[in-house]
């Protein structure tokens, strides 16, 4: 799991400029590997060896150009609920505004670390001007120029200092998170599994979110359900807030091993569902896709096939993911869904013995070597699975930089053919031998 840092502030203070500066380098690498279009408002960053997720909350609020104060308040409240630390960005060019004061008022009440970042401090004169932000009552602030990068180091030093240590949580039990758009049927699903009463017992309003697991043990399955606090809060928060569901998904995905992605069959695998899918994929989580409310769909013999094909097109090239058609209402296949999630969990923690891996992969590579690149021939001599919590493979060769993405995908496909990694993202590294 990783810590979550949210950037809040009114429009045009420079949030996305700052966000891009922090994640660009990393994301460029990720994009090259996966070929996936990235979410422009959510990404991973790291500083001094500590990794964290960064969310530009402004990016998730629709119409952020003519945004209303109410929207900003909502944004800040959600960020407070879901993030481990908050960067509150203001703009030295415009000075303290009424909206800044409103946000500061909310943030002063929070018992999470808040970092006031005064942006656009591009020169010494502006450094003097920044002093006025003391008036916000948030204590020390950080001078920043997101455009030229100055001040970033000081801010990040202080930030990572307060973040919890990032490590994969150790638990013998699989950790599942049920995610998806509002109204997909997530809470009905969880209630069907756990029973309403049991669920309410764990609902202690206003407690911190440190323990977000609900242990489930029935019918031979045992696992932890991760972060469903958002569902419990349903009565208080208007659930049609897409932003809210994104924030909640991020939190839940960060903390789980397998993501149970649920969609409403009558609404389809739309852009929002796809975003959540790639969120899970980029976090190297296992994924099971559940097409719920199958009872509402008029079916013929090809329905499942056609629906499956449509989803696979959206999630290509990572198509090796289980897709189940269920109905929480009629309880159709809901236990099968959990069984599948357990299988994916096992695939994710699978370790292939090095010798067996080489016995299978080296002949394949010999038959179909990487194509020559700039007249150079790449020789892959050896491969091994890395001792990471999720599947990563290193292929050792003479010229790692000459192995292109299509060949890596070829290797990935061969791995999937010979070892069951269904539902699990695979990372392939080429290393210098």
Instruction: Work out whether 292 is an interface residue with ligand GDP (CB under 6 A).
Output: yes
Draw the binding track, 301-340, toward ligand GDP (x: CB under 6 A; -: no contact). Answer: --------------------------xxx-----------
Instruction: Work out whether 41 is an interface residue with ligand GDP (CB under 6 A).
Output: no
Instruction: Work out whether 58 is an interface residue with ligand GDP (CB under 6 A).
Output: yes
Q: State the minimum distance, in angstroms, from the CB of residue 386 to ligand GDP.
A: 36
Strand partners, 383: 395
Query: How many residues appear in the chain?
Result: 433
Subset of residues 99 to 158 that bind ligand GDP, contact rule: CB under 6 A: 119-120, 122, 145-147
Q: Quick one: 78 or 403, whose CB is closer to ligand GDP?
A: 78
Binding range to ligand GDP, per CB under 6 A, among 6-14, 200-208, 382-390, 422-430: 6-14
Draw the binding track, 184-213, toward ligand GDP (x: CB under 6 A; -: no contact). Answer: xxxxx-------------------------
Instruction: Work out whether 272 is an interface residue with ligand GDP (CB under 6 A).
Output: no
Q: State the minimum distance, in angstroms, from the CB of residue 276 to ligand GDP.
A: 12
Q: How far apart are the first and last CA of the chain?
A: 31
Q: Are 248 and 232 in contact (CB under 8 A)?
A: no
Other beta carbons within 10 angstroms of residue 170's beta carbon come to 6
Q: State the minimum distance, in angstroms, from the CB of residue 14 to ligand GDP.
A: 3
Sequence-separated contacts (24+) of 43-50 with Cβ below 8 Å: 43/19, 44/2, 44/282, 47/156, 47/157, 47/159, 47/160, 48/156, 48/157, 48/160, 50/3, 50/160, 50/163, 50/165, 50/166
Phi, psi of 185 (to 5 degrees): 115, 20
Q: Are 317 and 405 in contact (CB under 8 A)?
A: no
Q: Is residue 229 a known part of a binding site?
A: yes
Q: Quick one: 232 or 433, whose CB is closer to ligand GDP?
A: 232
Indicate which single residue of 96, 183, 319, 369 sits in contact with ligand GDP (rule: CB under 6 A): 183
| Encoded tokens for 313 | 């097109």
Taking each helix axis from N to C end, the angle separating 354-367 and 405-418, rounded to the nearest 10 degrees, works out to 130
Q: Is residue 370 a known part of a binding site?
A: no
Q: State the minimum distance, in angstroms, from the CB of residue 222 to ligand GDP.
A: 23
Q: Contacts with ligand GDP: how many residues (CB under 6 A)? A: 32
Distance in angstroms (rounded) separating the CA atoms of residues 417 and 395: 17
Residues at the interface with ligand GDP (CB under 6 A): 9, 11-17, 58, 119-120, 122, 145-147, 180, 182-188, 231, 239, 292-293, 295-296, 327-329
């Amino acid at each position: 799991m990783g810590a979550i840092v949210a950037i809040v502030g009114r429009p045009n203070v420079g949030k996305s400029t700052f966000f891009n500066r922090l994640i660009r380098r990393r994301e460029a690498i990720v994009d090259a590997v996966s070929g996936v279009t990235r979410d422009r408002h959510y990404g991973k960053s790291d500083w001094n060896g500590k990794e964290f997720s960064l969310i530009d909350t402004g990016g998730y609020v629709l119409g952020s150009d003519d945004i209303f104060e109410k929207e900003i308040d909502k944004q800040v409240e959600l960020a407070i609920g879901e993030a481990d630390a908050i960067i509150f960005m203001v703009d030295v060019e415009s000075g303290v505004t009424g909206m800044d004061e409103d946000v500061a008022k909310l943030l002063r009440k929070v018992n999470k670390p808040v970092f006031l970042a005064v942006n656009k401090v591009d020169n010494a004169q502006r450094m003097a001007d920044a002093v006025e932000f003391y008036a916000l009552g948030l204590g020390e602030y950080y001078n920043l120029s997101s455009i030229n990068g100055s001040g970033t180091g000081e801010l990040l030093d202080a930030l990572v200092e307060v973040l919890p240590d990032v490590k994969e949580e150790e638990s013998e039990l699989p950790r599942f998170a049920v995610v998806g758009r509002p109204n997909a049927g997530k809470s009905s699903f969880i209630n069907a599994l756990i029973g309403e009463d049991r669920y309410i017992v764990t609902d202690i309003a206003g407690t911190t979110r440190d323990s977000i697991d609900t242990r489930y043990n029935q019918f031979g399955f045992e696992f932890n359900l991760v972060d469903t606090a958002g569902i419990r809060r349903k009565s208080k928060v208007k659930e049609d807030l897409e932003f809210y569901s994104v924030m909640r998904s991020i939190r839940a995905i960060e903390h789980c091993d397998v993501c149970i992605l649920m969609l409403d069959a009558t609404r389809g695998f739309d852009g929002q569902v796809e975003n959540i899918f790639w969120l899970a994929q980029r976090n190297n989580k296992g994924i099971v896709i559940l097409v719920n409310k199958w009872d509402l769909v008029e079916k013929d013999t090809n329905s499942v096939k056609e629906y499956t094909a449509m989803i696979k097109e959206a999630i290509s090239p990572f198509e090796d993911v289980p897709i189940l058609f269920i109905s929480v209402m009629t309880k159709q296949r809901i236990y099968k869904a959990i069984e599948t999630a357990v299988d994916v969990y096992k695939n994710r923690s699978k370790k292939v013995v090095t010798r067996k891996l080489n016995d299978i992969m080296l002949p394949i590579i010999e038959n179909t070597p990487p194509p020559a690149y700039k007249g150079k021939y790449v020789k892959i001599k050896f491969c091994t699975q890395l001792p990471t919590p999720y599947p990563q493979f290193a292929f050792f060769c003479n010229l790692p930089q000459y192995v292109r993405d299509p060949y890596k995908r070829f290797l990935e496909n061969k791995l999937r053919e010979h070892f069951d990694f269904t539902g699990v993202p695979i990372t392939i590294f080429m290393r210098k031998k």
